[in-house]
Structure 1
Amino acid sequence: MGSSDDDPVVASYDVFLTDSEISRFVFQYLDRDEEFPYNDRNNQRPTQLRMKARTGIVEVDVPINTRGNYDVNKGLRYGEAMKKSRSSRDGGAYGMSGGFTAGGAAANSGGRVKMEGNGDVEILDNKRAVDSASLMRTQSLGGRVKPAEEGDPVYMLATFKNKNLHLSPVSSVVQFHPQLHHLDALDEMPKAKGRKRDDDDRPAESEARAIDIKVKGAEDGETNMVGGNLDLLKKMQEEKWKSYGWIDAETEDAWYTYESFMMHQEPETLPSMETNINSEDYLDKMSAPRIDPARPDLTGWAMKENRRRQRDGASQNENEQ
């Protein structure tokens, strides 16, 4: 065994655990390069975050760069569909589960360029002026908060402040994927054709129809699973979105939140944690079972008990002498 000089201690920190009742989520954008985060610096700060807390659905709206690699014709087509969509206008349903809509103007949120005498227009690289209100300018990314189960890993967020290390438990890791709400809106458009319109700008309402899903030839276990999924989809549809604003990471408000919820302000007032396991038991739980060379049949707990009896016997003999 080498000396301690071969493996010197270069630093030591006091470790503190922050409030575990605060919800902290880690968002992972699977198709986004880590060098280009969604923030103000890249002109892609999310415009809105919305969540269905009971069913765990989360969506984020992020701006689309309309000045490069952007198909204006499709942008107008999808944007117009989103603007006229019954779901977008009245908070209806998108997708299989229903309720996957931002509702109202959120689907078309995004800045406009105000030009004198021309109204709200956008001038693109090809010098074509288009109506900004009809242009698809945001993309929705969606994910789901996975309910914690026994045996799941526990992730912590670490924050250093001087010689203190603050650990904050993560409520959930959410992986985001692009949502295709614009295709759902476009698919909804033909249903309004040929129907009576209230006015020139408002398409007729699509009729709400119940969907009857039948499952045939499923085993009992599969039936229960399908039934559970249908129940979850129903709950997703019924639950209302709750919207939140988005604060850029480099703003003063973000740093204030970071200071308030990621570290203790008065760590000296916190009680010290006490372990309920000794060093030997800890090593046994972290290592492979130990085997007594003198008694190969004894391992783990039995080996420790045998050694304890030997130590107790040796101590008793010394006292008698």
Structure 2
Amino acid sequence: MANPAAPRVEDDDDDDPVVAEYDVYITPEMENQLYVLQYLNRPPDQPLTKATDSKPSEVRIKKDAGFVEVDVPINIHRNYNRPAGVQWGEAMRKTKGFGQKAFGIASGFERTMPRITNRPGPADEGAPAAPIATEDDGNFAEYVANFEDANEKGHVLNTQTFGGQIMKDDGKGPSYMLGTFRDNELHLTRLDGLVQLRTQFHHVDASEHLEALQRRREKESQEGAKVAEPKAFLAQVKKTGGDTAAELTQAFMKSTNQEQWQKLTYYDENDPVAFDTYTDRLFLHDVESAPKLQAKINNTQFLDAISGKAGKKKPTKRNADDLIEISDDSDEQEGEDPQVS
């Protein structure tokens, strides 16, 4: 039997001591946008850095549509399928050669088709012939045999593309902030959005693009190319600014396809420019004159807010004849019961 006179010992699980305290500062708003890129299917032990030979070779953005793509080099000398690499590399090269600037949703799912030379008309004079599928290209075997030379000349798929859309702060969801530590200080910088990047299969889209073009060529070779003839048309006035889901989606896809990529300059994490930018933009320099933040809620209200209990107070039973006097006196002491008459 326990001795009732002995001092009570608290369990270790109930003990929650404060191990560190930090002064929290909020940095001013940036002129440039600040995003966090999250690579969802990239192992954390394989960072995209120069030290691991995987520094991104190109970063591009469509600011209005919110799409971001990052090209990362592929090690083509280890566990690499050379014939498939040539096939996909040529598909990318050929489709980009006749004007395909983007693939998938970042292009609005639009395909750019080359002009066919056997169609009559002055506009087609000197137009390049439509490219054929890689497997039917007479140079395919040569590219595979001389793989290193083909890679240097742009015939091999040697990059992996990650892409995603910016999730911006719309004011309805949580506001994310980026925290940086300096001694006993925590500096918070507001994020303009998150970008969850996933592997993009643009090389597959390019291959299907060439296959569709090849089918069109075969059909026209059998049926003959249609002669361009003038057609009568009736002018109609269409309403603009449709607000249905289908119209909004169609307008978004069209504007996405028309928007051009903007290329960004990427600096490695060990580059001096990266360190200078980190120090300059993610810390509040004059902490002595920083204004003090005043909380609008007390500790109890804060705990209710984070636990989801805010605004869910259980109603108390009252008689029908009870009258409640509501006061808007802001000086009323916290915890004082409302007056009931």
TM range (shorter): 0.5 to 0.7
SS at match of 2:247: helix
Q: CA–CA distance in 2 between the matches of 1:267 and 1:16?
A: 8
The residue type equivalent to 2:34 in the other structure is R
When Rg is computed on C-alpha atoms for both structures, the one with the higher figure is 2
Task: Give the equivalent residue in structure 1 for 2:50.
Answer: 40
Structure 1 segments unaligned to the other structure (5+ residues): 102-123, 196-222, 312-321
Task: Give the equivalent residue in structure 1 for 2:23.
Answer: 14
Distance 1:185 1:16, change over 3 A: same
Q: TM-score, normalised by structure 1?
A: 0.67
Q: CA–CA distance in 2 between the matches of 1:138 and 1:55?
A: 24
Q: What aligned pairs does 1:49-68 form with structure 2 within 5 A after superposition?
A: 49-68=59-78
Task: Give the equivalent residue in structure 1 for 2:107.
Answer: 98
Contact 1:99 1:239 (C-alpha < 8 Å) held by counterparts: no
Distance 1:291 1:143, change over 3 A: closer
Cα drift, residue 268 of structure 1: 1.5
Cα drift, residue 88 of structure 1: 4.7
Q: CA–CA distance in 2 between the matches of 1:306 and 1:15?
A: 27
Q: Deviations over 1:100-159 (max 9, x none)?
A: 89xxxxxxxxxxxxxxxxxxxxxx9x9964422211111211100124334312222211
Cα drift, residue 23 of structure 1: 2.2
**2:140 maps to 1:131:** no
Cα drift, residue 11 of structure 1: 2.4
Contact 2:108 2:253 (C-alpha < 8 Å) held by counterparts: no
**2:263 maps to 1:243:** yes
Q: CA–CA distance in 1 between the matches of 2:26 and 2:193?
A: 17
SS at match of 1:16: strand
Cα drift, residue 226 of structure 1: 2.1
Q: CA–CA distance in 2 between the matches of 1:158 and 1:193?
A: 54
Q: Please give the root-mean-square deviation of Cα atoms over the aligned residues, in Å.
A: 3.7
Distance 1:94 1:282, change over 3 A: closer
Q: CA–CA distance in 1 between the matches of 2:50 and 2:247?
A: 44
SS at match of 2:103: coil
Q: Deviations over 1:203-239 (max 9, x none)?
A: xxxxxxxxxxxxxxxxxxxx92222211111110111
Equivalent of residue 254 in structure 2, options 219, 234, 241: 234
Q: CA–CA distance in 1 between the matches of 2:208 and 2:259?
A: 24
Q: CA–CA distance in 1 between the matches of 2:105 and 2:295?
A: 50
Cα drift, residue 253 of structure 1: 1.4
Distance 1:97 1:49, change over 3 A: closer
Contact 1:29 1:176 (C-alpha < 8 Å) held by counterparts: yes
Contact 1:98 1:237 (C-alpha < 8 Å) held by counterparts: yes
The residue type equivalent to 1:20 in the other structure is E
SS at match of 2:160: strand
The residue type equivalent to 1:71 in the other structure is N
Q: CA–CA distance in 2 between the matches of 1:183 and 1:227?
A: 28
Equivalent of residue 167 in structure 2, options 146, 159, 163: 146
Contact 1:75 1:135 (C-alpha < 8 Å) held by counterparts: yes
Percent identity, aligned pairs only, is: 30
Q: CA–CA distance in 1 between the matches of 2:335 and 2:173?
A: 36
Cα drift, residue 77 of structure 1: 1.4
Contact 1:284 1:290 (C-alpha < 8 Å) held by counterparts: no
Q: CA–CA distance in 1 between the matches of 2:149 and 2:306?
A: 65
Q: TM-score, normalised by structure 2?
A: 0.63
Q: CA–CA distance in 2 between the matches of 1:283 and 1:158?
A: 22
Task: Give the equivalent residue in structure 2 for 1:258.
Answer: 278
Task: Give the equivalent residue in structure 2 for 1:184.
Answer: 205
Q: CA–CA distance in 2 between the matches of 1:146 and 1:58?
A: 11
**2:304 maps to 1:308:** no
The residue type equivalent to 2:51 in the other structure is R
Contact 1:91 1:99 (C-alpha < 8 Å) held by counterparts: no
Contact 1:47 1:245 (C-alpha < 8 Å) held by counterparts: no
Equivalent of residue 89 in structure 2, options 70, 76, 79: 79
Equivalent of residue 30 in structure 1, options 37, 40, 44: 40
Q: CA–CA distance in 2 between the matches of 1:268 and 1:45?
A: 39
Task: Give the equivalent residue in structure 2 for 1:175.
Answer: 196
Contact 1:99 1:240 (C-alpha < 8 Å) held by counterparts: no
Distance 1:129 1:307, change over 3 A: closer
Higher strand share: 1
